[in-house]
Structures are given as C-alpha cells and as structure tokens.
Structure 1
Amino acid sequence: MDQLGIEKRLTLSYLLCVILGAIASITTGVAWGHWYRTLDQCVGRNCSCIIYGKNTLSHFLGGNQAPCIWVTFGPLLYVFFCICLSCFHGYRVLFTTKSPRMRTTRSVVAKMEHGSSVQITAISQEDTSPLPRCFWITLSVFSSFFFAYALINFSIFLDGYYTTCNQYRRVLEKMLGIHGTALPVIHGRLMFYLNEY
C-alpha cells in the first residue's frame, strides 16, 4: 500500500481517537460535577466521585476523588497526542502531495509497425515523501503505550461503574424493603435501565 493511503487512514484514525477521548472526558466530568455535592458526605476527606460509591447505614457516599480525576482528565493526555499526530499526517496528506516534485514522470519512446515513433509519458500516483523507518517504529511504540493507557483508563471507569451499581442495589433493597425472590428481578431491572442510559 502506498504511504499516502496509509497516512490518510492514520489521520482519520487519530481524529476518531480525539473525538472519542474528548467524549469520554466530557461525559465523566459532567456526571462527576452533577453528583459532586450530593455524594460528598464524608467528614475530613473528599468522597465526591461518582465511581466506587459506597453504601453506608445512613448515606450513599461517593468514592475517593482520585479515580474521578484519573477517568476525567486521563484521556486528555492521549487526546493531545492524537491531535498532534492528526495535524502532522493531515498536513502531509493535504499539502505535500500537491507539489509537482512528488510526481514521478517517465517518458518512453515507442516505435510503431509502420515506422513512426510515439512518445508515451507515464505519471505515477501522488505520494507523500517517505518517512524514515525509525519514525514508524517510534510512532508504533507510542501508539501501543497510549492504547494500553486508554484500556487501563477504561477498565478503571468500568470497574468503578459496576462497584457503584452494586452498592446502589443495596440502597434500593433497604429503601424498598424487598427480600427473597424479588431481589433478582430488581437487580436485573436496575442493570437493564443503567445499561440503557
């Protein structure tokens, strides 16, 4: 595959990562900001995080603030990385392929059967200037690192979400006074509604 096609795909992939990372950061930040005052009922420490919430005898408390800071502001690091690389590859795709020096022209003179000659000119496809192999290796290492970083960020968010959900089920059990065979129905319904929203 030509380098121009690869760089076009990389530009689109990095833009998609920027959009998804920004959405993840904004949505968790909005949810955290919305529930901040309601969940922060601890004395002497901040427990305002919506993930890793805890059920106590009197209140539903939020988790420590550190996971919310990590989940909210953590994606901004790889968003910045992806913005830089999408600008780099986007610039190369948009501006370096338009220059005539990137097109290779080859002329061949062909002789016809009846004695006349025809000049055939072939112009190769536009391509970006080749990047050194060390660039691609370094880019692969950084991309692998940020992929693992994003997976860790997502796993912390998912684990905190399920922990809060399980604790909230206990709150509903106490509030509704339900026991026995009705508990699995409530747990299933709560999980259904939480996954929808």
Structure 2
Amino acid sequence: MDQYSAEKGLAIFYPLIILLSFICTVCSTVLWNHWKYVLDLCPETNCGCFLYGRSTYSTYEGGHIAYCHFAAYGMVFPIIFSLIFGSYHVYRVCMGKGKPRTGTATVRQRSCEVVVVTTEAEMLYNEISPNYWKPATVVSCFMLLYMLVYSSIYTDGFETSCKQYRETVLKQIQGFGNIVPVIKGRLSCAAIFDFMDYLEKEIVTWDRRRYGRINSAACFYITLVGAWMIVFSWLIITVINIIQLRRSRALRV
C-alpha cells in the first residue's frame, strides 16, 4: 500500500467516524433526556440513566447517571481526533497530486521541424514526514482501545436493561404460565423496549413536562451499531498507520 492509497483510506474513515459519533451522541442524549425523570426513583443517588436499569419489587429504576454521562459525552474524543487528522488527510487528498497524467511537449529542431511528444508520467506526491506516522499510530491505538471500552460498556448496559425490564413486564402484565418463557426468551430487546415506551409510567414535573413517546429501541440499536462501527473504523485506521509506520522506518532519522 503506497502512501497515496493510505491517505485516501484515512480521508474516508476519519469523516465516517465523525458522522457516526455525532449520530451516537444525538441518540444517547435523546434517550437520556426522555427517561431521566421517569427512571430516577432512587432515594439517595441519581439513577435516571437508561443503561443498567434494574427491576425492583414495585418499580423499574434506571442506572447511575454516570453511565449516561459517559454515553452522551464519551464521543467527544473520537470527534476531536478524527476532526484533526481527518481535516489534514482530506485536504492532502483533495489538493495533492498523485495520479498519472498525460501531457504533451513541443520540440522545435534546428531544421525548423516541429515534433510533438506525448508523455505519461506520475506527478511527484508530496509525501508526509516519516515522523508523522508514529504519533498517528499511538493516537489510533489509544482510540481503538477507548472505543472498545465504550462499546463494551454500552452493550453490557443495554443487555442488562433489557434483561431487567423483562422482569418488569411480567410484573406489570401479571404474566404466568407459558407467557413467562415468551417474555424472557422469545421476545427481542426491541419488543421489550416497546413495552417500556407504552407501559412505563411517566413522572411529570411542573418545570419539565413531556408529551408523546419516542422509539427507545431504535435509539438503543442505532447507538449500539454505530459504536461498534466506530471500533471497526479505528481498527482499519490503526492497521493503515502501522503499515505506513513500518514502511517509513528506513526514512526516519
């Protein structure tokens, strides 16, 4: 993989990470703001988060608010680093030179004969300093691990809330008999969170009244898929940076 091809790949994946991070942030924030008063039923702590919810004897409580802070604001680092590196590579790919181009040259000989010569040559590409790839590789490795932690926490919190709300659904519909294995084993988490949208009682406060409902399952899954797509994108970026780091090893002084 030459440097021009590597930068073309980076110019695609960095903007993709920015877009996915923005979508994940919006969906997480919508979920958080929609459920933070309804699920905050803990007497001593703020537990209005949609992640890591738990079913109690009579209610369904949310997880600690710190999980929602991490879900909503955790995408700041991917956006910042992707914006910095992505702007650089997009500019170089769009403004740089690297494709073979055909040109003509006119040569006038002493006999006054004009000879037109057609040549095809590859324009010299303004290569990046070999020392650039080391910090870029370190940052991409860090962001890969960071997003792996983020996605794992979100996935675990999502599955925990889904499992716990299955118990709440059984209590609210007073299910027994064959309905129990259906609720616990057959229905998808999307269906369970549809129950949550329509069955969970809303606590309406005087300062912030909520009207209508949202599709909580859609927000959950969009954030979940987007987070793992960001992990995959950082993995590809890390591989590209490592290849270019090894390729430029002989040029570093």
SS of the residue corresponding to residue 51 of structure 1 reads strand
* Larger RCO (CA within 8 A; separation ≥ 6): 2
The equivalent position to 1:129 in structure 2, one of 123, 126, 131, is 126
The equivalent position to 1:189 in structure 2, one of 175, 187, 190, is 187
Q: CA deviation at 1:127?
A: 5.1
Partner of 1:112: none
Q: Deviations over 1:81-130 (max 9, x none)?
A: 001111111121223439xxxx9x9x9x9xxxxxx9x7856453345411
Report if aligned partners of 1:3, 1:127 keep a CA contact under 8 Å in 2: no
- Structure 1: runs of 5 or more not aligned: 110-115
SS of the residue corresponding to residue 21 of structure 1 reads helix
Distance 2:156 2:124 in 1: 45
Partner of 2:67: 67
Distance 2:117 2:164 in 1: 76
Distance 2:116 2:188 in 1: 76
Give me the identity figure in percent. 32
Partner of 2:40: 40
Q: Deviations over 1:12-58 (max 9, x none)?
A: 11011111111111111111111111011122321110000111122
> Could you say what the CA RMSD is over the residues aligned between the two structures, in angstroms?
2.9
Partner of 1:86: 86
SS of the residue corresponding to residue 61 of structure 2 reads strand
Change (3 A) 1:87 1:60: same
1:147 aligns with 2:144: yes
Q: TM-score, normalised by structure 2?
A: 0.65
1:174 aligns with 2:183: no
Report if aligned partners of 2:166, 2:192 keep a CA contact under 8 Å in 1: no
Partner of 1:16: 16
Change (3 A) 1:193 1:121: same
SS of the residue corresponding to residue 62 of structure 1 reads strand
SS of the residue corresponding to residue 38 of structure 1 reads coil
Report if aligned partners of 2:53, 2:63 keep a CA contact under 8 Å in 1: yes
